[in-house]
Amino acid sequence: MTQPQKFQEIAENLSFLDDWEDQFEYIIELGKALPKLSDAQRVPENKVSGCVAQVWLAVEKTPSDAGPVFHIKGESDAMIVQGLVAVLLALYSDRPASEIAATDAIAIFDEMGLREHLTTQRSNGLISMVNRIRAQAQAA
């Protein structure tokens, strides 16, 4: 399955950065560019459990011929996690639920080498975010 253009650009940019610190700096910059969630979106039902940092993922669904399309917005109070949210949104947002459910972001992140420099807590938080998005997509 082809990944969204925005995600492909991020993956390509990361591949040009040899040093993991440069990669993390790039990811942090991606997070800084995300729009903030509204107070109405920063509610308990949008909060992701299993993350040390506070993370909210707000999903809006619109109908399409391919099934519901997920429009995902997210925010975290930790810079690196905010960046990981940005990468996840580039991979998952604005796609049909069936494609989201079939896309294993953890495997993709592992192929890119992104998880190897994350702490165990950050990695577990990333897994929690992915599991939440994919579970919502499977339920749709």
List residues with catalytic annotation: 51
Q: Report how far apart, in Å, the C-alpha atoms of 81 and of each of 85, 96, 103, 126 are.
A: 6, 24, 20, 8
Identify whether the C-beta of residue 98 lies closer than 8 Å to the C-beta of residue 66.
yes
Q: Return d(Cα 56, Cα 9) in angstroms, integer.
A: 24
- Lookup result for tokens 């940005």: 86
Q: Return d(Cα 26, Cα 42) in angstroms, integer.
A: 25
